[in-house]
Every structure is written in C-alpha cells, then in structure tokens.
Amino acid sequence: MHVRSAMKSSPWRRIVMLAAILTLPASISAQTSPAEIYGDLFRAVQTQRLFPDGKTFVDAVPRRSPEAIMADFRSSRPQDKEALRSFVLANFAVPGVNDRNAGTLRRHIRTLWPTLVRQSEAVAPGSSALPMEAPYVVPGGRFREIYYWDSYFTMLGLAVDGQQPLIESMLTDFTAAIERYGHIPNGMRSYYLGRSQPPFFALMLGLSKQGDHAVDARRLAALRREYDYWMTGASCVDAGGACARVVKMPDGTLLNRYWDDVPQPRDESYAEDVATAAEDRTRPAQALYRHLRAGAESGWDFSSRWLADPRRLSSIRTADIVPVDLNSLMLIVEETIARRCGEARDGACADRFTRLARQRRGALDRYFWVAREGRYADWDRTARKPTPVLSAATLYPLFAGAASPAQAKAVGATVRSELLAVGGLRTTTLRTGQQWDTPNGWAPLQWIAIAGLERSGEAALAREIARRWLGTVTAAYVETGRMLEKYDVEERRPGGGGEYPTQDGFGWTNGVTSAIMEKYPELTPE
C-alpha cells in the first residue's frame, strides 16, 4: 500500500508509521532526537536542570560515540548533580559552557584585550560616569568602568602582550583623575569619589616606557598629590587615635588605614548595607557604613580580616585595622617619590621621602611582624596588637622589599603549610562565605606572592604558586571557555561568595595569567 494513501485512510496507521521512523537506530535515521539517543542520561540532565536553559544540552555535541557515552553512563551512574555535570562536560562540547578552543590560552587572552577596551566619551547629564581622557581597559562583566587597583594587574598583561599604548593612555587617565579629584577613585563613577583603592599608581609608573620629561614631571606631581591624599589625616590626628586615613601608632609613627569620606550606605550596594546595619544595634548605622566603605576601599570586600566575628558581616570594623598591605604599598610610594625626586634633582624632596620610607620600614617590623608565627599581620589599633587572621596580605612586605631573608624564609614556610592549596594561594584560612576568604584565590594576590617570594630569595615557592594557579585558570578555561574574576583554589573551579555572582572578562586574571606565562614559559599550556 502506498504510504500516502495509508496515512490518508487511517490516523492510527499514520501514528504507527511515524513511531517506527522515530525508533530507527541513530546510524540509520539522522532525525533521532537527543531524548531517544541518550535516554536516562537525557532525563537526568533535564530534570535536574543541569543547565538553566533546557536547549543547552540538546544542542551539545558528543566528543565520542553515543554508544560509548551511554555504556559509561550506565556503568558509572553519577550519584549527584556535581558528578553528573562532570560526566556531561567530559563527554560533550556544551554550547556556551565548554565549547571553545582551550588549547591556546595565551592567544585567547590576547583576543580579549580589544573587547575590554573603552574609548573616552562625553558624559551624559545625570550619568554617574566620570570623564575619561584616553582609552582604557575595564575588568569586565558588571565592572563596566575602570577600577584603580585592578588596573595595575591588567597592565602587567598589557605590557607583555604588546599593548604598551594602552598602559600609557591609562596612566594619562589616572594622572588626570588625581589632578581633578586629588586621588584616584575606587572606580570612575561619582558614587566612588569618597574612597580610593590600594595605591598602585607608583608601581604603574614603573611600567611606562615614555621618555618625555614633562610627562614624567606631571606624573611625579600627581604621585605626590596622591600621597598627600592618603596622609591628609596627619593634620587632625589626636594623641591616641586616628583621623581620616592616618593612624598614630603607640610610638607616634604615622601609618595608614582604609577609610571613606562618606558615612552612608554605598550607592551600588544600598539595600545590602542597610540590611547589614539593621543586624547590629550596638553602634550607629553611620559607623557601620563607614567600615563597609573602608572595606570596599581595601579591595577586599569582604574578608574575615575586617570582621570581629568571622560569621557576621555586621561585625565589620575595617577602620579599626591598620593593614599590612596598605602600609607596604605606602612604603613603595615613599621610596618611588624619593627616587624620582632624586632623578629630577630635587634634593629636599628626595631626602624627605627617604626619611619617611625609613620610618615606615621600621614600623613594618615593629607592628606587623609576628616572629613566633612566621607571618606579617594586620594591627588592631583598639586592642593594640596584631590581629589573629592569617591572610595572603602577609606577603606584601616581601613584595615591597621590606622583609629580611630570615623573615622571608619564615613567611615562605607559613605559606607552604597554611595558605598553599592545590590550585594556588588561598586568601585566608577561614571559610566564612565572604569572597576574600578561603577557598577563593585571586589573581592579584597570586602575583604579589610570586613577585614577593622571588624578590626575597624564595624562588622555588614562587614558581610553585605560579604553576598551581596557572593550572587552575587553565582547568576553568577548558571547562567554561572564560577567564574569571576569582577561583576556588581548593577544588580548581570558579570561585563564589560575596555580594554578586562571579564575573568573567576578566582584566586582572588576564593580566596576571599573561605575566605568569611570560615569566615561566615552561609552564604555558600547549
């Protein structure tokens, strides 16, 4: 009987014949659906919502024969959602998840730079954007403006990836920001003007290759003005305390802390800050807002470094802490000004900042070094003693060249035993759910550790951190096709925690990864 006449004559016969077509083996019918080919695997993936969009898995491409995949699935039977995801990603190229070419990480980063470049444009009335003078690189994701300390680590990659003009144009932007506002804001938005971020401008200047003396003079003036911003509180600090970003230590030495000039909820996290303040009725809300904003200035927003109770963000007290990382960076600023003033033949300036740097170097030993524990710590100005939190900030004095060989060796031993994870350097040893605590690792802290350890005679440990971190970045790239803001260095997967989802892009990860591959070419993945 002709198929067309049969289908006309009987709807039941039409259904039977269509069913017969759909049950043909995959090798015979190209129209077999994923549901039929993968059966129980398909149902598990879709019912457990392994991917937010149900279309994702059905568009996946198998990496080997479906028969072999299903035989392994039946024998292994993944027991939970994480195991199922690992099985799927190992056997399929999943669109938008792991379907990109992961064999050329260095090339991938180089192709990302143009996507993160933004041009200077006129600011629309009512916009929160601050004006920029020259092209710049953003971190990526929700961070759609330039950020201060991110940019140094981004520049490390630009320097080795043939993007020197972008370094110079970003320095133009930062110099102009200091001239306009007296400091470099946290990010180039009006709601960030009350605070800065860790002062890396001095180190950025070291990446410049321009040779114009007038430009050098302008940049040195900007660096000195930024220093004045951090030291403004020196004129109002009282005998026992602090003012703005300046803290008077027990011996009278002036050091620095993180701060924000605005005691209000952060514009960009308004609801979150109001909710956090509502949890703590023991102090005025404005005081808590100041501590939250100071935590944002630190770049470590947020971390157990700043919490009286690691389980409660509402216990934050950032402004009561004298941070070891900030004061190590301020030492670099003072030494850089002294050197550049010397090159400019300004003897009085060179002598002044040489003296200031010597005083701060001594204070790093007196207040931050905990010999019995082999670590540098933050200083609690209310308890008048080092804090108990071990963090990756312990490596900043090595990065600044302020540690003796014995101190560096002791820090190295502490790092190996407490902070070194399978995938790189942990941020702290405390698991709190805050994003600047374990198990997360962050690109800038890996670089501080690598550069600091190598500078201080611990080259083997520096290389080991580089190897482990590069392995983590590579593994996540192979799985996701993306460069991420932060990573779980214990499980070698995307990091988590904090106030927002993990972002991709990502400026400082790209920069540090390129810098590591340039420094250790033997570690570069094929």
**Residues designated as active site:** 301, 485
Strands 375-376 and 369-370, by their bridges, are antiparallel
Element (H, E) at 243: strand 242-243
Strands 369-370 and 321-322, by their bridges, are unpaired
Question: In sequence order, which residues have a C-beta less than 8 Å from that of residue 502 and are 6 or more positions away?
Answer: 484, 485, 486, 494, 495, 496
With vertex at residue 435, the alpha carbon angle to CA 429 and CA 438, rounded to the nearest 5 degrees, is 20
With vertex at residue 80, the alpha carbon angle to CA 79 and CA 82, rounded to the nearest 5 degrees, is 125
Taking residue 129's Cβ as centre, other Cβ atoms within 10 Å add up to 15
Of 273, 278, 129, 105, which is closest to residue 190 (Cα–Cα)? Answer: 129
With vertex at residue 221, the alpha carbon angle to CA 219 and CA 226, rounded to the nearest 5 degrees, is 95
Question: Helix 443-455 to helix 148-160 angle, to the nearest 10 degrees?
Answer: 70
Question: Helix 443-455 to helix 459-480 angle, to the nearest 10 degrees?
Answer: 160
245 within 8 A of 232, measured Cβ to Cβ? yes
φ, ψ dihedrals at 425, nearest 5°: -90, 125
Q: Is 505 left (phi over 0), alpha (psi -120 to 50) or beta?
A: left
Question: In sequence order, which residues have a C-beta less than 8 Å from that of residue 83 and are 6 or more positions away?
Answer: none
Whether the link from the prior residue into 199 is cis, omega within 30° of 0, is no
Would you state the structure tokens that stand for residue 209, as one six-digit string? Answer: 């290759």
φ, ψ dihedrals at 313, nearest 5°: -60, -30
Of 87, 73, 39, 34, which is closest to residue 56 (Cα–Cα)? Answer: 34
Question: In sequence order, which residues have a C-beta less than 8 Å from that of residue 372 and are 6 or more positions away?
Answer: none
Question: Helix 148-160 to helix 507-519 angle, to the nearest 10 degrees?
Answer: 40
Exposed / middle / buried, residue 122 (Cβ in 10 Å: 0-12, 13-18, 19+): exposed
Helix or strand or coil: residue 246? Answer: strand
Of 401, 460, 395, 386, which is closest to residue 425 (Cα–Cα)? Answer: 395
What is the distance between the alpha carbons of residues 144 and 3, in angstroms, rounded to a whole number? Answer: 61
**C-alpha torsion sign, points 356, 362, 363, 364:** positive
